Amino acid sequence: MSERLSDSSDEALGRRLATDLPRYAAPARLRAAIVEAAAPPRPRRAFWLAPALSALATAAVLVLVFLPMLPRIPPADPTERLVRSVVAEHTRALMWGTRRAEIIPAALPWLTRESGIGLTRAFVGDDRLVFVGAEPVYLDGRRGMALYYRDGEGHLLTYMVLPAPGLPLPERRRVQVDRFKPALMQDSGFSAWVWRQGDLACFLVSDMVSQADLERFKDYFVRVRVATEPVPAY
């Protein structure tokens, strides 16, 4: 150093301060910490969100568990209501079998007495449908009769007759099958042909719902329809 700092001028001392004093650069971690502090805070999840989601999930599970146990609202339409009852009976027979299957025509007098319905002719099966049994039923406050058949592929068919004077058939559901025009209705994954014979309502229920099954179901309907003649017995 040629000049003593203690003797230097104000300008010279100022220059030496600018050039000789070490400069300290901010460490990278400090810069990172400040940048992080400057970043907008992440949106905090609301404190109530987790318990609310948990409660919703629990409620959803409970609904799924208890939904099948809840009473179903019966349809306002009397035909649909009756179809639902018939399908429920068909389902019961499908799962548990008939209560007291009888063979016709031997049991016809007893069946007529119990159901209030007589059969002047009855379809007792053929090469496509095997007669399984017959029993009296009580549905929707009406006594009736059920005949069960099974086809070669194991489909159970339930033919049911119930007294239902003036039961309306939904026109838009009616299908021309051979020389008949029954209504094809669906309920709970089952198909049902519905038609009237006098004051009696007749049903043929099966789980044949696909388009391919439907043609066969039509054929079964014709077989049962032409060979069965129910009449009110009392």
Partner 1 sequence: MATGDFERQALQHLDALYNFAMYLTRNPPEADDLVQETYLRAFRFSHRFQAGTHLRAWLFQILRNTFLTFYRLRERESALAEDGVPDWDVPMFHDAPDDTAGAMEAHTDLERAMHRLPEEFRTVLLLAEVEGMPLEEIARVMSCPVGTVKSRIFRAKERLRALLRDYETG
Residues 116, 163 contacting (CB under 8 angstroms):
yes
Q: Does 25 bind partner 1 (CB under 8 A)?
A: yes
Q: Does 32 bind partner 1 (CB under 8 A)?
A: no
Q: Chain-centre distance of CA 151, in angstroms?
A: 26
Q: Does 10 bind partner 1 (CB under 8 A)?
A: yes
Residues 122, 142 contacting (CB under 8 angstroms):
no
> Per-residue contact track with partner 1, 38 to 57, x per CB under 8 A?
x-x-----------------
Residue 30 beta carbon to partner 1: minimum distance, rounded to whole angstroms: 5
DSSP assignment string, 16-62: HHHHHSPP-PPPHHHHHHHHHHHSPPPPPPPTTHHHHHHHHHHHHHH
37 or 64: CB nearest partner 1: 37
21 or 67: CB nearest partner 1: 21
Residue 23 beta carbon to partner 1: minimum distance, rounded to whole angstroms: 5
d(CA 127, CA 149): 12
23 or 179: CB nearest partner 1: 23
> Per-residue contact track with partner 1, 137 to 166, x per CB under 8 A?
------------------------------
Residues 204, 221 contacting (CB under 8 angstroms):
yes
**Which region among 5-13, 127-135, 147-155, 212-220 touches partner 1 (by CB under 8 A)?**
5-13
How many C-beta atoms lie closer than 10 Å to residue 190's C-beta? 21
d(CA 157, CA 101): 14
Residues that bind partner 1 (CB under 8 A): 4-8, 10, 13-18, 20-27, 30-31, 33-35, 37-38, 40
